[in-house]
Amino acid sequence: MTNRLDLPEITWHRVSPRYIVVDVVGGLVFALIVVGAGAAVAYFTGLTWLWIVVAAVALVFVIALALTPRRVRSIGYQLRDDDVLFRRGILYQRFVAVPYGRMQLVDINRGPLDRALGLSELKFVTAAAATGVVIPGLAEADAEELRDRLVALAESRRAGL
Amino acid sequence: MTSFTDGEWHRLHPLTPLLRGGIAFVAILGFFLYNLRDILIEEFFGARSGESEPLVWLYESEYFVLALIAIAVGLAVVIVGYYLAWKMNTFRITDEVVEVRSGIVFRRNRKGRLDRIQGINIGRPLLARLLGAARLEVNVAGQDANIKLDYLSSAAADELRGEILILASGSRIAAAAAQAPAPGGPVSLLDQRVAELLAPELDPNLAPPESVVQMHTGRLIGSLLLSGFSVFVLALIGGIIWGVAATGSYLFLIGVLPALIGTGSFYITRFTRSLRYSIAGTPDGVRIGFGLLSTSNETLPPGRVHSVQVTQPLLWRPSGWWEIKVNRASTSSAKGAAGQANTTILPVGNVDDVRKVLALVLPGLTDDASVELLTRGMLSKGGDDGFVNSPRRSRVWLWFSWRRNGFALLPGAVVLRQGAIWRQLTIVPQARMQSVALQQGPLFRALRLASVKVHTVAGPIVPSLGGIDADEATRFFREVADAAIASSTADTSHRWRSSENAPPLPVMPDAAPPVSAPPVGAPPAPSQNPDGVGA
């Protein structure tokens, strides 16, 4: 596992463990819909191979759900002096660095489950669609404080496009 | 002639209605007159032709007078409508914004901030060119964020572009002093038209000749013939021959004929549109112009190029031709040369042309070391050539290109090189980068490889590089993230003249007819001609 990418000098802020619940429930609902629909089709058509496909898909979902806690733990961010660093993923790792001056806006999204657990999701938007930095599972107050801080930082480092 | 940048509202060229939609109207009128000819012939000569013409039928029916009135009313409505549309369509340019108001019933107001201007395009379709009018489009960052001023008088458009660029540049010099030679006495309208038509596409006063890259006609034809489209056409022709030989029937040919005609017109359009292509450096940005009959030219102010890609299709390799594309923050409605997207700034050119164009769009990379590195980036087969290339173990993934697949960090820019068969070199100015990413999936992890991505505004170029040694990729990520901050803090190119504080300008921004410029720091003079456009 030494091949894994790492930035050892960074101490990452992790997201709230409560986000695991949000992610698991969301994944479970999706899995149930997909597997349920597949199973229904398989039941009415009576095709054996379709049952095998459904079982395989269900297995993939189970593994993905089992890995959720690790995946959530892999999400991290760090506000440095002039940019924000973000990481996520275990199988597919991704690190992104966004300078504050490049942020065009900061979104806070809260789904129904997020709200029930007092969590928020922070999304950074730059002029590049590919940036794709979303920090889920922040405590509400933290998210708002973080947003205000980021907006202030972005304002003080405003650069041209 | 008055200056448009006085902050007052101005109107467009009086011929605007005709140029915008009136052509269709004239065509319909022509159709009626043509049909009317039959009636007139009958009236005067008693002869009859075209029995079934609807107009003839109408003429003979009792509704004729009614129809005439309807047509007259319709005509009046259209003419009044166009007149009002022209009357209500006004624009103004202040120190901060370009603003356009339009619409009769639904009013529409659009403002663009001058410091967000990404490019200014002047188009002259053939008819507008004959009438001495031009279409000016100011592109602001964003999708569909264009402010169109169509049409202006040709000279006014050139002048206005220069003035907008001066305002956008953050220059403290209000406007350039008038220095273009005044026309000797009153010139007849016709002479003026002819002079404008015959003038070279690129004004020689505008750019130093050594910065100009011209399109070579032979190369243009060659590049068209050696395109992917030609391969397709050849395959099509091959298929037809095979079809005819196999079936012995020539019926195929009938179906294929329109396609062949279409192909021919495609080549001709591309050819005429790319003729007289030139790209040149002016003090206010890179100017790209082209077109034989309908001309178009676009000015990209400094610091508006978000990434540059030099590519070489396989077929162009024997002749050593390259193509250059850029990413920009705006989308222009105007097409580029050869009808391609206007992100293609050099449709075809040899290595020298590429070097010149790169020097224009990336003025920070003109030192010898950078130029040499970029040339190696295009031509080198790889190895130890200043690029950090993929390790040998990546050949599982990059069969042919692993030797060439690599990156280099230049002062102010990130250079990514890819492809051994389809060679490409991507350059991203660090001051324009939005963010940088480092990624690794399971396959790359097994090989201790990683990919890096540089995020820029959306466009034809997606700068990314896979199969780099994981440690090198991490180093790239760290260094580029730091460099991006340093460059964007130091970068002032979006206000490229703000450091200037003393006249005179080295070259006029657009050597145009005299500008009645207010003195430095003086309030804008009131408009002498409220209707704005002196035709």
Q: How many domains does chain A have?
A: 2
Within its chain, how far is the Cα of B219 from the centroid?
Answer: 21
Query: Tell me, what's the pLDDT at B490?
Result: 81
Query: Tell me, what's the pLDDT at B450?
Result: 94
Q: Are A88 and A124 in a shared domain?
A: yes
Which neighbouring-strand residues pair with B312? B423
Which residues in chain B are contacts of A94 at CB distance < 8 A?
A: 437-439
- Where does the pLDDT of residue B506 fall: very low under 50, low under 70, confident under 90, or very high at 90 and above? very low
Structure tokens at B40: 């007139």
pLDDT average, residue stretch B472-497: 86
Query: Is B483 an 8 Å CB contact of chain A?
Result: no
Q: Which residues contact A20 (CB under 8 A, 6 or more apart)?
A: A68, A69, A72
Query: Tell me, what's the pLDDT at A120?
Result: 92
Q: Are A30 and A99 in a shared domain?
A: no
Lowest-pLDDT range of B19-28, B174-183, B484-493: B174-183
Higher pLDDT, B335 or B218: B218
pLDDT average, residue stretch B3-13: 83
Query: Tell me, what's the pLDDT at A127?
Result: 86
Is the model's pLDDT at B382 over the cut of 60?
yes
Is the model's pLDDT at B479 over the cut of 90?
yes
Q: Are A100 and A49 in a shared domain?
A: no
8 Å CB contact of A131 and B484: no
Query: Tell me, what's the pLDDT at B54?
Result: 62
Higher pLDDT, B204 or A57: A57
- Where does the pLDDT of residue B187 fall: very low under 50, low under 70, confident under 90, or very high at 90 and above? low
Is A52 a member of any domain?
A: yes
Query: Tell me, what's the pLDDT at A21?
Result: 92
Q: Which residues of A touch B (CB under 8 A)?
A: 3-7, 82-83, 85, 91-99, 101-102, 126-131, 133, 157, 159-161
My answer on whether omega of the bond before B267 falls inside 30° of 0, hence cis, is no
Is A103 a member of any domain?
A: yes
Query: Tell me, what's the pLDDT at B47?
Result: 57
Percent pLDDT > 90 in chain B is 24
Is A3 a member of any domain?
A: no
Domain extent for A152:
76-158
8 Å CB contact of A127 and B329: yes
Q: Are A29 and A83 in a shared domain?
A: no
Are residues B175 and B284 in contact, defined by beta-carbon separation less than 8 angstroms? no
Q: Are A63 and A89 in a shared domain?
A: no
Q: Are A65 and A87 in a shared domain?
A: no
Is A8 a member of any domain?
A: no
Query: Tell me, what's the pLDDT at B50?
Result: 52
Q: Which residues of chain A have pLDDT under 50?
A: 1
Q: Between the CA of residue B275 and those of A101, B233, B295, B330, what are the distances in Å?
A: 42, 23, 10, 25
Q: Are A25 and A80 in a shared domain?
A: no
Query: Is B440 an 8 Å CB contact of chain A?
Result: yes
Q: Are A55 and A90 in a shared domain?
A: no
Higher pLDDT, A123 or B510: A123
For residue range B247-264, list pLDDT tens digits in order: 777 776 777 778 788 888
The whole-angstrom distance between A74's CA and the closest CA on chain B is 14
Query: Tell me, what's the pLDDT at B528?
Result: 39
- Where does the pLDDT of residue B311 fall: very low under 50, low under 70, confident under 90, or very high at 90 and above? very high
For residue range B117-147, list pLDDT tens digits in order: 888 989 888 888 888 889 898 888 877 778 8
Are residues B110 and B100 in contact, defined by beta-carbon separation less than 8 angstroms? yes
Task: Find the closest chain B residue to A4 by CA distance.
Answer: B445
Q: Are A80 and A64 in a shared domain?
A: no
Domain boundary, last residue among A51, A70, A89: A70
Separation CA A71–CA B303 (nearest Å): 40
Please, which residues 399-438 of chain B have a Cβ atom closer than 8 Å to chain A?
431-438
Q: Are A95 and A53 in a shared domain?
A: no
CATH of residue A149? 2.30.29
Largest Cα separation within chain A, whole Å, is 64
Query: Could you report the predicted ipTM of this complex, rounded to two decimals?
Result: 0.90
Domain ranges in chain B are: 10-199, 216-274, 278-528
Separation CA B479–CA A97 (nearest Å): 11
Is the model's pLDDT at B89 over the cut of 60?
yes
B103: left (phi over 0), alpha (psi -120 to 50) or beta: left
